[in-house]
Structure 1
Amino acid sequence: MRSNRHPINDDTPINWRIFSQLWPYLTEFKVRVGLALLCLIAAKTASIYLPFILKYTVDELNAERAADAIVLVPFGLVAAYGLLRLANVLFGEIRDTLFGRVTERAMRRLGLQVFRHLHNLDLDFHLNRQTGGLSRDIERGTSGISFLMRFLVFNIVPTLFEIAVVVGVLFYNYGVSFALIILVSVVSYVSFSVKATDWRTKFVREVNQADSSTSSRAIDSLLNYETVKYFNNETYEANRYDVDLANWENARRKNRLSLFALNGGQASIIAIAMTSMMALAAYKVAQGDMTIGDFVLINAFTMQIFMPLNFLGFVYREIRGSIANIENLFNLLDKQPNVPIDENAKDLKIAQGKITFNQVQFSYRPDRTILHDISFDILPGQKVAVVGESGSGKSTLVKLLFRFYDSSNGSISIDGQDISKVNQHSLRKAIGIVPQDTVLFNDTIFENVRYGRPDATDAEVQQAIDLAHLRGFIESLPNGENTSVGERGLKLSGGEKQRVAIARTILKRPPIMVFDEATSSLDSQSEQAILTALKEISQGHTSLVIAHRLSTIVDADKIVVMGNGRILEQGSHRQLLDQNGAYKQLWQTQQSQHHESDIE
């Protein structure tokens, strides 16, 4: 199955376009962002002044002073140190609180945008997607937004700013030696971190790909639980899952070893730099060029620089990964549906409900045409059935009518309006469908019926349940209409799911009804009950019925017989039997099979 992931090459540079794409999400709370930046400046100012307070405190303690000054001056400096430390922490917390709302709203906005966009993509995309991998891409992408915004704005940029200030302070107060050690160490550390992180990006990506593959395999297997049981393939599924887990384990091992190499190199640079700074400071104190307070200040500044710098390496690695994950998210947003959405298209206006297929031609792939010059009308209030062997193109007509795909040639119109030129939402609102395979949400029967029109009242839902002859079944359940149907409706039988689908369509109240082999998988008793319900709800509606069993559509106003993507015959049941053509042959074949089954 084709993956929806978009891995980048190992030598691909950071996509800085990501930041311009994220910028609009930051501007929604300009005041909050401004206040957060002010708190950031205040916190960093307090942080830079802390080593100076330590220096003055130590020097005061070493100085010979009067008894009162010996107590008061150092005590005042210690109190100032405590206040600055408190200010540093408080301003940082206020900054995070203010900016937290910004990141959370950005995650919400972008998550919703991706969700809406996925629903706007065409059916072909969703037929080829991997649900587990796709959900992981969305989850990692939205989480990456929070990490990127928070740590880029409040860790990397402030740390670089602090390094520049400290280098300037050291150069101004203590000469070029200390400033040069810090500067060379920082440049070496950042260069090594960038190159090493770029080197190990492929290992991080392998872990993500293995993680997505493992998730997809597990979800796909669990969604097809019954099929696994039918074919006794639990061991086979477990072995396939274990292969994915083994790949994940191997990818994690390589990722862990590469991380060890990166952390070891960073630790070595920091150790050499700090040792050099302390040795030079100790030498200066011994020579009498610096005080013990200066030594403490140098030590404090060095610790203050390298602690966040060590964190900076981690942040860069994570930001690199976050950008890749966010890029996957934006790649999803960049996908354009094959069926274009025209925001300015006019709504479909239903006057009578006449449907016209005019020389419709369609192919899923260029090398294989599915429909050839299909032309027929469904007059207002008529019931028109389309029959034919499997693969003749019957269900494709339904997909084209709902505009999941656009026809290659020809047109489909409703009351003279080309459906390719009308608003898609209004088109699908006008059509109700009872599909062959009804998939329900993991919710109650009542809520699954309400899904036909979410704004319907409880009384309207109850009425739809009655019209679909679903009341008797519901009353037989211990929890009644509040019974959960399970994932994809697996707790219900085929006939029960079909009745829920009928009730849902009744609640929608569309002028056009489509029945896509709605009884093909049911037993005779269930089929008759469903047919009765379908006949009742289709009265007065324009109806298109895709049928396999001809006995279910003998009362159709017109029957369209298809074969190999072409219309072979059209007419009523009696007219087609009199023509002695393809329809009569299908009829006789099915009647013979039905007779043989009765004898058995």
Structure 2
Amino acid sequence: MAIELEPWIQLVRGCCGVLVLVTAITPIPTLKIFGTGRSITNCNLNTLLFLFLALFFIYAAVFFRLVAEAVSRNSLPSIHAAFSETALVLATFMNAERLGDRDDKSPIHLNRAVSWCLLCAIELFVVVWTGLPGGQTSPPLASRVSAAIDVCKAATCVMILLQILPAIIANCNTASKPSPASPLDASSNPADILSLQMDTLREVEKLGGWWPLLKLFGVFSRYMFPVGEPVHQIRFVASFLLMVTHEVTELQEQLAFASILDAAATGSQVQTSFKKALLLRAVNTALSHIFGLLRAEIKLHRAESFATGVHAKILSMDPTFHSLANPTDLTKAVDDAKEFISLFDSIIFSHFINIMGIVMAATKLVSLHGPFLFIIMAYQITFTCVINSKGTQKRAEAFTKVHKLKVDQEHRRQDGLRGWTTLFNQNLIEHEIDCFRLVTGALIDQERKLDSCRLNFCLAQNIVSFCGVAAGYSFMIYRYGQGAATVGDLMLYTSVWATLWMRIGELTRTIPDLVDDLLDAAPLRRVLERSSAVQTSGAELLCGEGSLDLHDVSFTYPARDTPVVDHLSMSIKPGAKVALIGPSGTGKSTLLKLVMRYMSPSTGTILIDGQDISNIDKNSFHKSVGMMPQIPHIFNTTVMENVRMGKKNASDEEVYAACRRAMIHDTIIARPGGYESLMGENGSSFSGGEKQRIEFARLFLKQPKVVILDEPTSSLDPETEMQVLGNLINQFVHTTVIVVTHNVEIAKDFDRVILLGEGGKIVKDGSYRELLAKEATEQTTSHALQPGLTRY
């Protein structure tokens, strides 16, 4: 038989257990006691893990012995003893669980070490104070068991102190704050230059935990809560109040039905309780319907806000972002984040309400049937949280692999669809199908592992839930047998207890799904975190002449070491017609992107009419500078709307005139719909040359001061090419025109030809005839400008 400890000793032991438990569960808030980040390093963690596991089993044995002795006496244990032993069992379990987490490589914080020392010191004091059990009043076997438990407890505490105290003494004066986390590593995927697909678990590790990561998701708050919209805010608050009222009335309804049974058992009138129960049921039904109507409207508004807001954010990103981002990844990021946007509703209207219902139900049960129900719930909730924590971590690891494989699958699908012509011509369609099947098979295998992980941890949760429910029912049956509970109490307990653990189970089961939503939304979060760097408030571009000057301009792409453009300087006079030629990879297209502000130079400045373009308002800049890309994009709308992309308020006659100069007018009017003909997705119903001429029409309509062309006639036949370029030069007589081309024949009609070499270096510069003459004089082996060679 165990010795009954005095209440003050039980209280001290319980407080120590609670202190150790708190420092294990919430280490960061309690760090301030001894200085944030102070830690001990020279400890053997494996030895400490073994000792705390031993101490956990010792406390568990003491607790079960306490319960067994009470049951043998047909009574309940002392609440002080039950509370203190519960705190000690849970404290040692949580610390053993933290030490056993092999992913946690950080040293032990000083506050945890001190709390352990305090606990061990108190336990040694208790053993010395009470002495080893013995004497003639206790059965020899019980006495020996108690003595063995106390000896093992004392020995374990001594070994823990011997492990920790020297480390505390050695490190206390020299402990310092841990070094700050290094910057986040870039994504391991070389193609993911913007790190949108970064491993979220690596991000958690770098940020120092899940809470710093969760704070980053605040960028979604504007789409979750209707800020600045009073009507929708009223709907939101009203919905919340309705749910709170529903929880209260639902609990009152269960109490009313329980009172009916009590009244029937005692022969009292049941009509009053029955009317009250029916009224509460009717109120709950009405509240649920009104709540459903309000929440439906909130969801629709949130979906609209998210779709338009995110689309606007992505479109407003700077050209560098759009030149590096994969449209497939962006589309998938937006689609994957849709579930996360509903998370706020889930937290407020489901999980928060569930937690509130759990607290209300638990408080009511404990107030009616005593604190032993609280002890049962403490055990069950603690073990459930530990299992859920481990399960969430494993599930997050498996989900990250699934997410990466889904991205690979989508990339493979998009490549197959967009490259169908190449696959068909090369007779590789079956090969591509086999490759896609392999990618999909790997995805399915990983999803199978993810489902297995989820089901295994659900089984562990269900086992813990079963033990808690069984313990609770056993306790209530004991109280009923002792006459401390009525039939109504049993009915109320059965209903509320089942609802309580149903809510806890629902809450713990949805946490992995919430983590999945969090991981799904991570790529879009990284997009939303980026600033919309498109400048809209700079100075106005006073482009009267159109001169262009580059001073010591260099540019290096992210994740590359070699600059594409290396310290390039050049000057182009107003109204000049300049052709840039050179081998592939010499930075010609990159140079045009720098001039168009798609990207910013790594070093150097670019001036138009003496103004630094980096300080120019972007709307003013694009009014004066026009570019025709190498591959024009055609929108899925009418021909008229596509041409008007050059000038939104252009009249029909202006559009017709621009199309005539672009040699596309006759082709358009020959179609049944004329200018109202739909061009299809990316101009699928028009040829490549026709799409290039549509782009020329936009340029003619815009009438910029500086015109930049990137391989503008690559899809045109020679005759149309010469006509369009002739119209271009005639139309823009006083406009600066810069063209990048491999077609040397085009260069003949330009005032100046610049041959670029590696690193964007100027190799040759002059008129077409001057360079030919110079080349002939030098007898160079280069054939870049020899007559008869039409393509560089």
Same fold at TM > 0.5: yes
Deviation of the 1:87 alpha carbon: 4.5
What is the identity, as a one-letter code, of the residue corresponding to 2:643?
V
What is the identity, as a one-letter code, of the residue corresponding to 2:592?
V
SS in 2 for 1:451: helix
Report the Cα distance in structure 2 between the residues aligned to 1:559 and 1:145, rounded to whole angstroms.
Answer: 54
Report the Cα distance in structure 2 between the residues aligned to 1:461 and 1:368, rounded to whole angstroms.
Answer: 42
Deviation of the 1:510 alpha carbon: 1.6
Give unmatched runs, 5+ long, in structure 2. Answer: 1-189
SS in 1 for 2:337: helix
Alignment of structure 1 residues 66-77 onto 2, 5 Å: 69=269, 72-73=271-272, 75-77=274-276
CA contact (8 A) 2:549 2:569 kept: no
SS in 2 for 1:347: coil
Q: Does 1:28 align with 2:228?
A: yes
| Partner of residue 141 from structure 1, selected from 337, 345, 365 | 337
The aligned residue for residue 113 of structure 2 is none
| Partner of residue 252 from structure 2, selected from 49, 55, 64 | 49
Alignment of structure 1 residues 9-158 onto 2, 5 Å: 9=201, 12=205, 13-14=209-210, 15-18=213-216, 20-23=218-221, 25=223, 26=225, 27-29=227-229, 30-65=233-268, 69=269, 72-73=271-272, 75-90=274-289, 92-93=291-292, 96-97=295-296, 99-100=298-299, 103-104=302-303, 107-108=306-307, 111-112=310-311, 114-116=313-315, 119-122=317-320, 125-146=321-342, 148-158=343-353
Alignment of structure 1 residues 191-202 onto 2, 5 Å: 191-202=386-397
Deviation of the 1:589 alpha carbon: 5.9
The aligned residue for residue 618 of structure 2 is 424
The aligned residue for residue 695 of structure 2 is 501
Structure 1 residues 210 and 58, CA, compared in 2 at 3 Å: closer, same or farther? same
Report the Cα distance in structure 2 between the residues aligned to 1:196 and 1:359, rounded to whole angstroms.
Answer: 56
Deviation of the 1:575 alpha carbon: 3.6
SS in 2 for 1:519: coil
CA contact (8 A) 2:772 2:786 kept: no
The aligned residue for residue 550 of structure 1 is 744
Report the Cα distance in structure 1 between the residues aligned to 2:357 and 2:771, rounded to whole angstroms.
Answer: 87
What is the identity, as a one-letter code, of the residue corresponding to 1:247?
A
The aligned residue for residue 440 of structure 2 is 245
CA contact (8 A) 2:580 2:738 kept: yes
Deviation of the 1:371 alpha carbon: 4.4
Structure 1 residues 408 and 453, CA, compared in 2 at 3 Å: closer, same or farther? same
Deviation of the 1:8 alpha carbon: 1.9
CA contact (8 A) 1:494 1:521 kept: yes
What is the identity, as a one-letter code, of the residue corresponding to 2:529?
D
CA contact (8 A) 2:358 2:503 kept: no
What is the identity, as a one-letter code, of the residue corresponding to 2:278?
A
SS in 2 for 1:184: helix
Report the Cα distance in structure 2 between the residues aligned to 1:18 and 1:396, rounded to whole angstroms.
Answer: 34
SS in 2 for 1:384: strand
Report the Cα distance in structure 1 between the residues aligned to 2:555 and 2:336, rounded to whole angstroms.
Answer: 38
Deviations 1:63-87 (A, max 9, x none): 425xxx56x3354144224224315
Deviation of the 1:461 alpha carbon: 3.2
Deviation of the 1:319 alpha carbon: 1.8
| Partner of residue 631 from structure 2, selected from 420, 434, 437 | 437
The aligned residue for residue 464 of structure 1 is 658
What is the identity, as a one-letter code, of the residue corresponding to 2:682?
R
Report the Cα distance in structure 2 between the residues aligned to 1:378 and 1:287, rounded to whole angstroms.
Answer: 103
Structure 1 residues 450 and 377, CA, compared in 2 at 3 Å: closer, same or farther? same
Report the Cα distance in structure 2 between the residues aligned to 1:445 and 1:583, rounded to whole angstroms.
Answer: 51
| Partner of residue 168 from structure 1, selected from 344, 350, 363 | 363
| Partner of residue 401 from structure 1, selected from 588, 591, 595 | 595
Alignment of structure 1 residues 347-358 onto 2, 5 Å: 347-358=540-551
What is the identity, as a one-letter code, of the residue corresponding to 2:239?
A
Report the Cα distance in structure 2 between the residues aligned to 1:94 and 1:43, rounded to whole angstroms.
Answer: 15
What is the identity, as a one-letter code, of the residue corresponding to 2:279?
A
CA contact (8 A) 1:464 1:507 kept: yes
Structure 1 residues 98 and 127, CA, compared in 2 at 3 Å: closer, same or farther? closer
What is the identity, as a one-letter code, of the residue corresponding to 2:314?
F
Percent identity reads: 23
Report the Cα distance in structure 1 between the residues aligned to 2:430 and 2:550, rounded to whole angstroms.
Answer: 50
Deviation of the 1:22 alpha carbon: 4.2
Q: Which has the larger radius of gyration?
A: 2
The aligned residue for residue 235 of structure 1 is 430
SS in 1 for 2:719: helix
CA contact (8 A) 1:107 1:143 kept: no
Deviation of the 1:373 alpha carbon: 3.4
Structure 1 residues 446 and 231, CA, compared in 2 at 3 Å: closer, same or farther? farther
The aligned residue for residue 384 of structure 1 is 578
Report the Cα distance in structure 1 between the residues aligned to 2:401 and 2:357, rounded to whole angstroms.
Answer: 35
Report the Cα distance in structure 1 between the residues aligned to 2:535 and 2:694, rounded to whole angstroms.
Answer: 33
Deviations 1:266-311 (A, max 9, x none): 2223333333333433443344332221111001101221222222
CA contact (8 A) 1:517 1:547 kept: yes
Deviation of the 1:530 alpha carbon: 2.8
What is the identity, as a one-letter code, of the residue corresponding to 1:16?
L
CA contact (8 A) 1:432 1:513 kept: yes
What is the identity, as a one-letter code, of the residue corresponding to 1:42?
T
Deviation of the 1:112 alpha carbon: 3.6
Structure 1 residues 163 and 201, CA, compared in 2 at 3 Å: closer, same or farther? same
Report the Cα distance in structure 2 between the residues aligned to 1:226 and 1:584, rounded to whole angstroms.
Answer: 44
Q: Which moved more, 1:523-532 or 1:162-171?
A: 523-532
Deviations 1:238-266 (A, max 9, x none): 22212210121011100111111122122
Give unmatched runs, 5+ long, in structure 1. Answer: 596-600
Report the Cα distance in structure 2 between the residues aligned to 1:439 and 1:351, rounded to whole angstroms.
Answer: 29
CA contact (8 A) 2:395 2:512 kept: no
Report the Cα distance in structure 2 between the residues aligned to 1:583 and 1:97, rounded to whole angstroms.
Answer: 79
Structure 1 residues 137 and 409, CA, compared in 2 at 3 Å: closer, same or farther? closer
The aligned residue for residue 217 of structure 1 is 412
CA contact (8 A) 1:18 1:327 kept: no
SS in 2 for 1:488: helix
Q: Does 1:260 align with 2:455?
A: yes
Structure 1 residues 508 and 498, CA, compared in 2 at 3 Å: closer, same or farther? same
Structure 1 residues 583 and 446, CA, compared in 2 at 3 Å: closer, same or farther? farther
What is the identity, as a one-letter code, of the residue corresponding to 1:356?
D
Size of the aligned set, in residue pairs, is: 584
What is the identity, as a one-letter code, of the residue corresponding to 2:330?
L
SS in 2 for 1:218: helix
Structure 1 residues 539 and 19, CA, compared in 2 at 3 Å: closer, same or farther? closer
Structure 1 residues 277 and 456, CA, compared in 2 at 3 Å: closer, same or farther? farther
Structure 1 residues 36 and 446, CA, compared in 2 at 3 Å: closer, same or farther? same
Q: Which moved more, 1:428-437 or 1:414-423?
A: 428-437
CA contact (8 A) 2:565 2:591 kept: no
Report the Cα distance in structure 2 between the residues aligned to 1:386 and 1:318, rounded to whole angstroms.
Answer: 55
Deviations 1:96-115 (A, max 9, x none): 34643674465246524541
Report the Cα distance in structure 1 between the residues aligned to 2:493 and 2:318, rounded to whole angstroms.
Answer: 59
Q: Does 1:5 align with 2:201?
A: no
Report the Cα distance in structure 2 between the residues aligned to 1:221 and 1:287, rounded to whole angstroms.
Answer: 74
SS in 2 for 1:556: coil
Alignment of structure 1 residues 265-284 onto 2, 5 Å: 265-284=460-479
Larger RCO of the pair (alpha carbons < 8 Å, separation 6+): 1
CA contact (8 A) 1:60 1:73 kept: no
Report the Cα distance in structure 2 between the residues aligned to 1:73 and 1:472, rounded to whole angstroms.
Answer: 88
Report the Cα distance in structure 1 between the residues aligned to 2:221 and 2:624, rounded to whole angstroms.
Answer: 39
CA contact (8 A) 1:346 1:422 kept: yes
SS in 2 for 1:591: coil
| Partner of residue 538 from structure 1, selected from 704, 726, 732 | 732
What is the identity, as a one-letter code, of the residue corresponding to 1:76?
K
